């Protein structure tokens, strides 16, 4: 690592970090890539980003990650991911990447700290974020009755009354999943028809324990009283009549889509219309040689910690193979200036 000092009279000091493998993102995908790469002797460098640990850091009980008989806490699980990655030789840096140049060789990233990161190969594991309504009570009750993932949290609402907010494929699929667990599922949609695929709608309408509230928005998530506050109801408003109501639920699932954290890479790498990085089928290879994408940043379907970890493993193995076949004339990382 080379230290670059600023001009006399300034106080800031920036570093240049050189690594064979740079990993952007510190969720299940990024940390798993780091574990496999470190064990292969690549000494990977992980830049943790804005939310180290990814979405699991805002998840309370995790019951569907293999290897744990009892529910575990999401933040604790991610602490273990990090500890394992560092134990086998990965370096984790707390910084936020503000710019990348994927056309340069070596690949180049700039941190909010002013540090520069140079790498022979790159794993993008910056994840995705669920879209939220932004209504009062939603953030405070996240993990306490409010969720954005039925597959993750639906199990905790077996035999209970739940609501799903949204009208696209994600909302209908969440409602279908929950209909097999919950006593009753109420879908709340701001329009008078779904945007979901017709076959999904047919399946939903055939469910006897599913009802739909049309032309309605949720304006507030309401909590129970007392020290340990949890969701008790949602305040709604009908967009056509203006009528308001307070609907009691044990759980609410916000299903209005996800946004991949790919703004940094727009115009530099292949993406689909929604901003997910495209990878070759059965691979984490992107449109740029030596650049791989893992986890929710390229997965618009499953979005689970275990699948993210799987693609992180794939990305590290593919990066290792790519590095082994670099042209002989390619400069070694130690020779970069």
Q: Are 228 and 206 in contact (CB under 8 A)?
A: no
**196-215 average pLDDT score:** 95
By percentage, how much of the chain surpasses pLDDT 70?
92
Q: Which residue has the higher pLDDT, 161 or 143?
A: 161
* Residue 313 falls in the annotated catalytic set: no
- What is the spatial distance between Cα 185 and Cα 162, in angstroms, rounded to a whole number? 5
Q: What are phi and psi of 132, to 5 degrees?
A: -115, 160
Please report where in the chains the tokens 């193979």 appear, as a residue: 321
What is the per-residue pLDDT across 21-65, written as a single tens digit (0 to 9) for each? 999 999 999 999 999 999 999 999 999 987 777 777 766 678 889
Residue 41 DSSP symbol? T
Q: Are 193 and 282 in contact (CB under 8 A)?
A: no
Q: How much of the chain is in helix, strand and coil states, percent to nearest 5?
A: 25, 30, 45
What is the per-residue pLDDT across 261-300, written as a single tens digit (0 to 9) for each? 999 999 999 999 999 999 999 999 999 999 999 999 999 8
- What is the spatial distance between Cα 329 and Cα 98, in angstroms, rounded to a whole number? 31
Q: Which of 152, 250, 296, 299 is catalytic?
A: 152
What per-residue confidence (pLDDT) applies to 301? 86
Residue 289 exposure: Cα atoms within 13 Å on the Cβ side: 9
What is the per-residue pLDDT across 134-156, written as a single tens digit (0 to 9) for each? 999 999 999 899 998 888 889 99
What per-residue confidence (pLDDT) applies to 336? 46
Q: Which of 115, 153, 250, 299 is catalytic?
A: 153
What is the per-residue pLDDT across 296-314, written as a single tens digit (0 to 9) for each? 999 988 888 999 999 999 9
SS3 191: coil
Q: Which of 61, 79, 149, 215 is catalytic?
A: 149
- What is the spatial distance between Cα 179 and Cα 208, in angstroms, rounded to a whole number? 9
75: pLDDT strictly greater than 90: no
Q: Which of 139, 190, 143, 140 is nearest to 164 (CA)?
A: 190
pTM of the model: 0.75
Residue 218 confidence class, pLDDT cut points 50, 70, 90: very high
* Residue 152 falls in the annotated catalytic set: yes
* Residue 296 falls in the annotated catalytic set: no
């Amino acid at each position: 690592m080379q230290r670059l000092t600023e001009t006399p009279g300034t106080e800031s000091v920036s570093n240049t970090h050189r690594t064979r493998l740079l990993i952007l993102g510190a969720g299940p995908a990024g940390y798993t890539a780091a574990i496999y790469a470190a064990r292969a002797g690549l000494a990977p460098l992980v830049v943790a980003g804005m939310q180290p640990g990814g979405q699991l850091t805002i998840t309370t009980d995790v019951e569907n990650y293999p290897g744990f008989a009892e529910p575990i806490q999401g933040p604790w699980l991610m602490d273990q991911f990090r500890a394992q990655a560092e134990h086998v030789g990965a370096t984790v840096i707390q910084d936020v990447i503000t710019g990348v140049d994927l056309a340069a060789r070596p690949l180049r990233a700039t941190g909010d700290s002013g540090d520069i990161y140079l790498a022979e190969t790159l794993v993008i594991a910056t994840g995705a974020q669920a879209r939220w309504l932004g209504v009062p009570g939603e953030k405070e009750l996240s993990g306490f009755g409010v969720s954005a993932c039925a597959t993750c949290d639906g199990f905790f609402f077996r035999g209970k009354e739940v609501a799903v907010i949204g009208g696209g494929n994600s909302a209908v699929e969440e409602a279908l999943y929950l209909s097999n667990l919950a006593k009753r599922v109420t879908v709340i949609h701001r329009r008078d028809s779904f945007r979901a695929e017709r076959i999904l709608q047919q399946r939903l309408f055939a469910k006897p324990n599913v009802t739909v509230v049309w032309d309605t928005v949720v304006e507030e998530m309401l909590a129970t009283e007392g020290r340990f506050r949890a969701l008790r109801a949602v305040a709604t408003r009908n967009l056509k009549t203006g009528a308001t109501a307070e609907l009691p639920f044990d759980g609410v699932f916000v299903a209005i889509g996800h946004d991949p954290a790919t703004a940094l890479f727009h115009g530099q790498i292949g993406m689909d219309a929604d901003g997910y990085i495209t990878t070759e089928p059965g691979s984490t290879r992107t449109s740029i040689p030596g650049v791989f994408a893992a986890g929710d940043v390229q997965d618009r379907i499953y979005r689970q910690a275990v699948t993210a970890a799987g693609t992180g493993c794939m990305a590290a193995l593919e990066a290792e193979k790519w590095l082994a076949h670099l042209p002989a004339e390619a400069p070694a990382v130690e020779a970069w200036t």
